[in-house]
Amino acid sequence: MSYQNYVIAAYCVFAAVMLWDFIAPRLQVRQQLRAARLRATRVGKNRPNEFPLSRE
């Protein structure tokens, strides 16, 4: 009658969703910072150059 395992199942679901809710934003922030770092280095690479293009 104690339905012990139902309680455990419910609390596991609770913990799992809260964990996801904790991790997801942290991953997003880390991903944004990595993207920004990439963009910062990319700006430096292609300087607009003026010399004429040629296709011999």
Partner 1 sequence: MHPVVRWFHQLGSPPYFERFAARWAPIAYIAGLLVMAYGLYGALFVVPADYQQGDSFRILYIHVPSAWMSMAAFALMALYAAIALIWRIKLCEILAMACAPVGAAFTLITLATGSIWGKPMWGTWWDWDPRLTTELILLFLYLGVIGLYNAIDDRRNASRAAGLLAIVGVALLPVIHYSVTWWNSLHQGQTIRLFGQSHMDPSMLPPLWAMVIGTHLWFVGSLLARARADNLRRESGKDWVAKLAEPRA
- Contacts with partner 1 by CB under 8 A lie at 1-4, 6-7, 9-11, 13-14, 17-18, 20-22, 24-26, 28-29, 32-37, 39-40
Least distance in angstroms from the C-beta of 10 to partner 1: 4
Nearer to partner 1, 20 or 51 (CB): 20
Q: Cα–Cα–Cα angle for 54, 50, 52, nearest 5°?
A: 20
* Closest CA relative to residue 19, chosen from 7, 27, 8, 31: 27
The smaller minimum CB distance to partner 1, of residues 21 and 50, is found at 21
Six token digits for residue 12: 């596991």
